A and B are shown apart, each in its own frame.
Chain A
């Protein structure tokens, strides 16, 4: 198996396919689509956290000049969508369940008329008691959000407690005997951690322009991580065959999981069908903060038994994820559950994980997908254990970290795991002599694991007459650079330069199915489909050349856009000869294809109940070390430096890797220190970048990073992923550093100055 040094394109600096279009302002995003006769849509949203809808009167809105359509739940089929639990319609029907829920939508000749019309819709509500805390929502007698929860279609194996009251999803994992494990332990640590809602804060708002084309088909120009799933959802919600819908994704102005949703498409589509005109629906900045999705807030309890020497023996883990009023992706809880042991060997484990409805905006996917929550808890507690047992925090982690060939508590065997090497390399990079650096200054370490890859995808690689190639895949580039990586993978496989490959993505008329780009499955899984399709094309090319040259395929080599005989390079043909004239003489055009869905090594059904997926394809690992300085008087934390070491498999695009690592840990810093969507009585109190701001340039400390060499047998050229694991360690690393610096342990995110001051006062008694 060749290493990176043997590759011509893989691992080499390669300019992004879309960089020039983006630096010149030519790249077209969904909000840049202006079609002739286009109407503008606005949505009427619920002002109540929980209320029965008594009546809706749209007459005045309809009469406003310039209004072309007003739709409510009564005007669309009674259909629901979701990921594991199909619980949400296009518009609220009978009840509203959070402040910001869509109740009606208007299409009008311009944005102002649409906004004015929305205000003319009269809705009578009958307010109901609401519940805002997941633990309270699980109590008997709590207000129930979805009375018909048991009647909803579900796509997972229901467990005893799941789907009753406000619990919409539950997973249980049990390995070994935790009671016996605690009995064997010398010490038992019990801690509770809480984490806040964090907004994905992609710059580009959710947006769709829906059009009905000349053939009467619905065309959606949108911003999405999952065009083929959007197509299926709009089909199901509006009762239109998939074949009558085309999704044409534009450049995506950031996704991070937040665009792995379907928010603007259904209402825009319904309005376009009603008016037979193009309709644009774009979320306002405020709607992004009230009516899109955030990382789940959560409460996590850990009870962990340890031997005197630091060996982890048993852990009992309870995860309560606040899913908001609907469950577009309770799968985040599942990810949290399978990562809740951290990257550690723990013989006896019991996990109970709940996704719970509350009357708040929805929890969804955001970079790290369920794991930043559980990893904050696990890695905070690991430091407590180290301190109380008098063991160096890195030594404690090295003692317990899991390796390739070992099984996780789910029964899945790790085939690629170099967390140990990430710890060792990070320790070396910072010159670790212990956590304390000086008065109020310290280092904090955290490591983590992210289960990634897998699920259905496909690719087509067509060879063009001039010897170049065109890749088509339904896998989207959400801005991270997947198109460029796909081009590199196809180029390396076909003996081309990256510039010889055109990558067509997303358009559902032109590309084969992909389930959506999330959970580090872009490079690893969709990239593997591209590689297999390119190999298929290569075999066809070789077969054609074999006939033309009279040389067995096994004796042929590729290079310089030529096929030639081994040992006799002059005996060969250019790709353009094979494909230009050749496709008329021998066989037909060369089209490679691949369709994959990993199914081997599923989770052990004896250990796992309520799994939201059969398996994950691989696991990524990383260690982060944060250096902080804390002002004891004000509680202000200054992060001076972050060191990151990743086990991401083979690096395909080094510039992309750097951007993913630094970008990811910057989101992690915001999560650690201040980003917090504050909700009081169901109302978002800080719905904008003014009040809830991601880190800016001056907030980001210097970053040093490295990778450990690893070849993953399932990824293209050994690649895994990096986008998610880059986020998950930062908050616990900062929390651990803060404690080493000033002795204040903060167990709830974000780690704000007031919490530090309070913790300091408590420590001083």
Chain B
């Protein structure tokens, strides 16, 4: 099939490139998608699956904001083709909490003041989770190294590192306990209908 250079753009490309049927497993759920092979995992997660918690910033692999876990390893979703993830479980920020109970690392981010604008937070949490999954008791230096590919302009990283290091001690707590502090809000403290 040929394309006309003076037209270009999506229409010509849509004609020119066949879609492929891909089965992705994201946060434990299976999705069957017809997607062009050139599309990034980031684009498919956000635009096709509506999982907008994964953030788009540089599309160059320079900032880490789009970090997700693929088969347990942190990857930059902007530089990863969606078709390449077939058969590998994908975890995004939406899949980190266990139902209504925050993951200990999420609770640690809340409690340590590790969140400011929040745009780097999903990528930071997944980079941190990848570390904790293989090294449950990291040092501050190990935590800093694990997030060294994730940029944050707000915090100066200190509270993020503290959150990662302190998360294991929260893991022992009862899940679903109200968070300490006085302004806990959001979906995880909202009772389900019928409860």
Contacts and interface: CB of A to CB of B under 8 A. Distances in A.
- Please determine whether chains A and B interact with each other in the same assembly: yes
Contacts of B182: 9, 12, 14-15, 497-499
Nearest to B154: A663
Chain B binding site: helix, strand, loop or mixed by DSSP?
loop
Contacts of A202: 117, 119, 153
B118 A22 contact: yes
Interface in B93-111: 93-94, 96-97, 102, 106, 109-111
Interface string A6-34: 00010011111111111111111101101
Interface string A591-628: 00000000000000000000000000000000000000
Interface in B175-189: 179-189
B151 A22 contact: no
A693 interface: yes
B111 to A, nearest CB: 7
Contacts of A497: 182
A12 B181 CA distance: 9
Interface residues of A, number: 79
Contact of A697 (B9, B111, B160): B160
B118 A253 contact: yes
Interface of A: 9, 12-29, 31-32, 34, 60, 64-66, 109-113, 115-117, 119-120, 200-205, 251-256, 285, 478-481, 484, 487, 497-499, 655-656, 658-659, 662-667, 688-690, 693-698, 700, 703
Contacts of B8: 116, 119
Contacts of A13: 181
5 contacts: A23-B109, A25-B94, A251-B118, A481-B116, A658-B113
B57 A285 contact: yes
Interface stretch (B18-26, B69-77, B80-88, B141-149): B141-149
Contacts of A28: 52
A329 B175 CA distance: 49
Chain A binding site: helix, strand, loop or mixed by DSSP?
loop
B179 A24 contact: no
Contacts of A20: 102, 106, 110, 179, 184-189
Interface centre among B47, B57, B149 (most CB of A within 10 A): B57
B155 interface: yes
A420 B159 CA distance: 29
Contacts of B156: 659, 662-666, 695, 700, 703
Interface residues of B, number: 72
Interface centre among B47, B60, B186 (most CB of A within 10 A): B186
Contact of B52 (A32, A60, A667): A32
A23 B121 contact: yes
Given A658-B159, A697-B147, A115 B9 contact: yes
B57 A15 contact: no
A24 B117 contact: no
A479 B145 CA distance: 25
A499 B184 contact: yes
A660 to B, nearest CB: 9
Q: Which 4 A-B pairs have the closest CB atoms?
A: A25-B53, A479-B117, A116-B9, A655-B113
A659 B110 contact: no
A203 B60 contact: no
A543 B110 CA distance: 39
